């Protein structure tokens, strides 16, 4: 869900397009395929299935039982009926002409009366169009009086007497009754009456009707000359007149008590009248200058009275008592009709876009029963309410504004937006003013960044090795490992632990790198090279050590001549086989003589190698000299050392 009005009274857009121009079907399908991995698209909420028309929708109504929604639209002209508990489209029905308005005659969808744009009235049932009848003139609105079972159709034009008419179709008797004659100012050709049947271009008309069903049952008719006439259906006579000034009356609505009447004009002006007073109690401008299409008295869950007014651009909700704006929602497409699910916070619209909109206002009321899951979703979103951020603005206090020579803008322009103890300034204006106040700011900023980068690189280096009395080479080795990890701290690990203090102070803990145990654990230690490195390091007094040294290399004290180890094998078989104690090079080893090719002249080299076959008997007759020693006798051969004979 999208939060369209993140203020004190949030409005959540449940369904509906966010763009005024719908995408082609093939492009929409392609975009859906590309958005299949988008988490926001995957977590979207589709409140009603197929809650849309091919081009636009013109009118929408919610049944009294709150389980059905019927809407009409184009193109082609059709009727959609949704069953709300199933959140799906129940049926769709096509008509021959466009629909102007309709009313539901029953508590559900089973009986409906539709006013078409070709001067026809159509009665629809679940089986289809039940009956059609034709009107003398084009109808402007449609209302149903339940007390007298009459359909009221305000029409355009005047009769022979120069008065506008409101047709009455009695559904109980099945015929037209005498119409109500309303003063609309006459025809544009002859104001005294007698004009054309349909009237001229600027002819008068009765635009809208309203019925006070829950109270005194008076009828109110708004005209094109800005007046509102009140008729009593019992006496069939006019009982009152409310004169207006600004524009035509395009919307009317009675309060439940019947004492308050809201009027909307073609100039976008909304007025609230008390029937006991001729002057308006409250005047409210819609703000865009478009005709008001829908007016509705509403009561919130906290029993606060609100007024909903809608033109083709915006839906506004404001307080009935003082006219204070409560909340608003402005869709991306033009609005044709608005319906409210009573005793809830759900508002449905018919608009010029392909998709119809559904808005949810939690403070207006709870979610309807058929979508009660919205309450939990709204609570989760409210817990994660994001803080307001101003990416393109810079907050400055008054002293900072004076430092930038912008103090003269306070109270004289809208470039500064006051907030708490300072002002929000556009980032672009702030940067320009800052550059004018200090032309060298960019050079200073560049120098500052270079200095920070250099300090960051220096922090990863060893500026001086830690000096200790004993095992200095071990300390250097630890610091070098820290340097490779780009985090140098002389008091980290063993170096800063007091339990290992004697390791670097007491000479009894000196590591003897010439001992057999040390050489067994560090076989790659080069004692001679480390001695020279230690001397150079001592002369340089803490200079950086070479980074290419092995981690196992250690700095040791004075060097001694290295004794080359003697490789000796104590096996008796090895002694008896005639091998020497020390291995000799390949060229100095003794080889058994063989045949010599006489065609090859003199032999060059230490030995002659041939692959000529030799007899086994001669090999056995050959006696190899055996070296005997005092340790060779009485030993058993454990290995023949075959590879030594190669």
Using one digit for the tens of pLDDT, what is the confidence trace for 91-127? 999 999 999 999 999 999 999 999 999 999 999 999 9
CB hemisphere CA count around 276 (13 angstroms)? 3
Give Cα separations from 450 to 435, 460, 563 (angstroms): 20, 16, 55
Checking if the pLDDT of 381 tops 90, the result is no
Checking if the pLDDT of 54 tops 50, the result is yes
Q: Kindly report the average pLDDT of the chain as a whole number.
A: 78
- Indicate where the chain has its CATH 2.130.10.10 domain(s): 2-384
Stronger pLDDT, 600 or 176, i.e. the higher one = 176
Checking if the pLDDT of 248 tops 60, the result is yes
**2-3 sheet: strands from edge to edge:** 2-3, 12-15, 357-360, 346-351, 335-340
Distance from first CA to last CA of the chain, Å, rounded? 85
- Residues of the chain with pLDDT > 90, as a percent, come to 35
The helix or strand, by DSSP H or E, that contains position 478, with its residue range, turns out to be helix 472-484
Stronger pLDDT, 609 or 236, i.e. the higher one = 236
Contact between residue 460 and residue 483 where contact means Cβ atoms under 8 Å apart:
yes
Give the pLDDT mean for 408-435: 83
Q: What band does 426 get if pLDDT is binned at 50, 70 and 90?
A: confident
pTM equals 0.58
Checking if the pLDDT of 214 tops 60, the result is yes
What is the Cα–Cα distance from 476 to 465, expressed in whole angstroms?
7
Checking if the pLDDT of 371 tops 70, the result is yes
Which two structure tokens, joined as six digits, stand for 290? 């478009």
The C-alpha R_g of the chain, in whole angstroms, comes to 50
Give the pLDDT mean for 515-538: 65
Give Cα separations from 544 to 473, 474, 540 (angstroms): 13, 15, 9
| Range among 1-15, 130-144, 495-509 rated most confident | 130-144
Checking if the pLDDT of 24 tops 90, the result is no
Contact between residue 143 and residue 206 where contact means Cβ atoms under 8 Å apart:
no
3-state SS class at 396: strand
What is the Cα–Cα distance from 208 to 250, expressed in whole angstroms?
6
Among 554, 477, 549, CA closest to 512: 554
What is the Cα–Cα distance from 101 to 209, expressed in whole angstroms?
12
Checking if the pLDDT of 594 tops 80, the result is no
What is the reported pLDDT for 68? 94
Give the pLDDT mean for 249-270: 93
DSSP letters, 421-455, are TEEEEEHHHHHHHHHHH-TTHHHHHHHHHHHHHHH
Contact between residue 303 and residue 296 where contact means Cβ atoms under 8 Å apart:
no
Query: Looking at 74-83, 86-95, 282-291, 542-551, which range is the least confident one?
Result: 542-551
The helix or strand, by DSSP H or E, that contains position 33, with its residue range, turns out to be helix 25-34
DSSP letters, 80-116, are EEEEGGGTEEEEEEE-SS-EEEEEE-SSSSSSEEEEE
What is the reported pLDDT for 412? 80
What is the reported pLDDT for 33? 67
Which two structure tokens, joined as six digits, stand for 642? 């075959």
What is the Cα–Cα distance from 67 to 71, expressed in whole angstroms?
14
Among 487, 495, 480, 496, CA closest to 533: 480
Stronger pLDDT, 453 or 547, i.e. the higher one = 453
What is the reported pLDDT for 556? 43
Checking if the pLDDT of 645 tops 60, the result is no
Give the pLDDT mean for 46-67: 90
Dump pLDDT digits (tens) for 223-236. Answer: 999 999 999 999 99
Dump pLDDT digits (tens) for 10-22. Answer: 888 888 766 555 5
What is the Cα–Cα distance from 82 to 68, expressed in whole angstroms?
6
Residues 6+ apart with CB under 8 A from 451: none
What is the Cα–Cα distance from 140 to 124, expressed in whole angstroms?
20
What is the reported pLDDT for 61? 95
Q: What band does 562 get if pLDDT is binned at 50, 70 and 90?
A: low
What is the Cα–Cα distance from 101 to 135, expressed in whole angstroms?
14
CATH architecture of 2-384: 7 Propeller (2.130)
Give Cα separations from 202 to 184, 208, 209, 351, 484 (angstroms): 11, 17, 20, 27, 90
Q: What are phi and psi of 447, to 5 degrees?
A: -60, -40
Q: What band does 445 get if pLDDT is binned at 50, 70 and 90?
A: confident
Checking if the pLDDT of 543 tops 50, the result is no
3-state SS class at 156: strand
Cis before 540? omega within 30: no
Give the pLDDT mean for 595-617: 57
Checking if the pLDDT of 404 tops 60, the result is yes
Query: Looking at 89-98, 156-165, 441-450, 545-554, which range is the least confident one?
Result: 545-554
Contact between residue 350 and residue 60 where contact means Cβ atoms under 8 Å apart:
yes
What is the Cα–Cα distance from 639 to 579, expressed in whole angstroms?
13
What is the reported pLDDT for 517? 84
Contact between residue 292 and residue 283 where contact means Cβ atoms under 8 Å apart:
no
Q: What band does 521 get if pLDDT is binned at 50, 70 and 90?
A: confident
Which two structure tokens, joined as six digits, stand for 144? 């149903």
What is the reported pLDDT for 26? 60
Checking if the pLDDT of 295 tops 60, the result is yes
- Residues of the chain with pLDDT > 70, as a percent, come to 70
Contact between residue 242 and residue 290 where contact means Cβ atoms under 8 Å apart:
no
Residues listed for the chain: 646
Contact between residue 278 and residue 261 where contact means Cβ atoms under 8 Å apart:
no
Q: What band does 393 get if pLDDT is binned at 50, 70 and 90?
A: confident
Dump pLDDT digits (tens) for 34-53. Answer: 666 666 566 566 788 889 89
Checking if the pLDDT of 457 tops 80, the result is no
3-state SS class at 591: coil
Sign of the CA dihedral running 417, 423, 427, 431 = positive
Tokens 């550059």 -> residue: 435
What is the reported pLDDT for 391? 62
DSSP letters, 107-129, are SSSSSEEEEETTSEEEEEETTEE
Stronger pLDDT, 589 or 622, i.e. the higher one = 622
Among 412, 388, 392, CA closest to 401: 412
What is the reported pLDDT for 595? 53
Per-residue HEC secondary structure of 150-184 comes to: EEEEEEECCCCCCCEEEEEEECCCCEEEEEEEECC
What is the reported pLDDT for 250? 94
């Amino acid at each position: 869900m999208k939060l369209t009005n993140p203020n004190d009274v949030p409005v959540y857009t449940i369904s509906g397009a966010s763009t005024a121009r719908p995408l082609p079907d093939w492009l929409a399908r392609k975009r859906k395929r590309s958005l299949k991995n988008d988490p926001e698209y995957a977590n979207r909420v589709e409140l009603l299935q197929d809650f849309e028309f091919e081009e636009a929708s013109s009118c929408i109504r919610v049944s009294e039982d709150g389980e059905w929604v019927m809407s009409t639209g184009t193109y082609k002209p059709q009727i959609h009926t949704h069953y709300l508990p199933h959140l799906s489209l129940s049926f769709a029905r096509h008509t021959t002409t466009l629909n102007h308005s309709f009313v539901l005659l029953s508590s559900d969808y089973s009986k409906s009366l539709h006013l078409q744009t070709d001067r026809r009235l159509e009665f629809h049932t679940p089986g289809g169009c039940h009956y059609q009848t034709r009107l003398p003139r084009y109808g402007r609105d449609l209302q149903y009086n339940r007390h007298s079972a009459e359909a009221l159709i305000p029409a355009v034009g005047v009769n022979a007497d120069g008065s506008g008419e409101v047709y009455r179709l009695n559904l109980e008797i099945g015929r037209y009754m005498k119409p109500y004659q309303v003063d609309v100012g006459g025809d544009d050709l002859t104001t005294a009456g007698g004009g054309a049947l349909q009237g001229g271009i600027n002819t008068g008309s009765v635009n809208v009707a309203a019925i006070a069903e829950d109270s005194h049952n008076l009828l109110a008719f708004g005209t094109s000359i800005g007046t509102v006439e009140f008729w009593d259906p019992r006496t069939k006579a006019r009982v009152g007149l409310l004169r207006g000034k600004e524009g035509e009356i395009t919307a009317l609505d009675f309060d439940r008590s019947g004492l308050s009447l809201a009027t909307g004009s073609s100039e976008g002006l909304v007025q609230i009248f008390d029937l006991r007073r001729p002057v308006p109690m409250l005047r409210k401008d819609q703000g865009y200058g478009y005709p008001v299409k829908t007016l509705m008295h509403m009561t919130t869950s906290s029993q606060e009275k609100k007024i909903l007014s809608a033109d083709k651009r915006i839906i506004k909700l404001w307080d009935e008592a003082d006219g204070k704006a409560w909340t608003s929602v402005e869709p991306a497409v033009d609005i044709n009709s608005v319906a409210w699910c009573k005793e809830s916070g759900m508002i449905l619209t018919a608009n010029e876009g392909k998709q119809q909109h559904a808005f949810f206002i939690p403070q207006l009321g709870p979610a309807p029963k058929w979508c009660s899951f919205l309450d939990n979703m709204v609570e989760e979103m409210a817990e994660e309410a994001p803080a307001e951020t101003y990416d393109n603005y810079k907050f400055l206090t008054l002293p900072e504004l004076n430092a930038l020579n912008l103090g003269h803008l306070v109270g004289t322009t809208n470039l500064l937006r006051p907030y708490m103890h300072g002002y929000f300034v556009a980032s672009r204006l702030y940067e320009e003013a800052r550059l004018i106040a200090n032309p060298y700011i960019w050079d200073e900023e560049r120098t500052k960044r270079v200095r920070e980068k250099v300090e960051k690189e220096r922090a990863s280096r060893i500026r001086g090795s830690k000096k200790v009395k004993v095992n200095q080479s071990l300390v250097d080795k630890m610091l070098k490992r820290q340097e490779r990890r780009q985090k140098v701290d002389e008091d980290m690990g063993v170096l800063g632990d007091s339990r290992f203090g004697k390791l670097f102070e007491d000479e009894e803990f000196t590591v003897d790198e010439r001992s057999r145990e040390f050489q067994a654990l560090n076989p790659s230690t080069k004692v001679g090279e480390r001695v020279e490195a230690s001397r150079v390091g001592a002369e340089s007094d803490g200079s950086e050590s070479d980074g290419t040294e092995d981690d196992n290399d250690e700095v040791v004290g004075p060097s001694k001549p290295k004794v080359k180890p003697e490789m000796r094998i104590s096996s008796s078989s090895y002694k008896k086989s005639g091998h020497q104690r020390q291995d000799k090079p390949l060229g100095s080893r003794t080889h058994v003589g063989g045949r010599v090719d006489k065609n090859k002249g003199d032999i060059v080299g230490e030995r002659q190698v041939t692959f000529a076959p030799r007899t086994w008997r001669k090999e056995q007759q050959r006696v190899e000299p055996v070296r005997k020693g005092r340790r060779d006798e009485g030993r058993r051969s454990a290995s023949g050392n075959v590879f030594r004979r190669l």
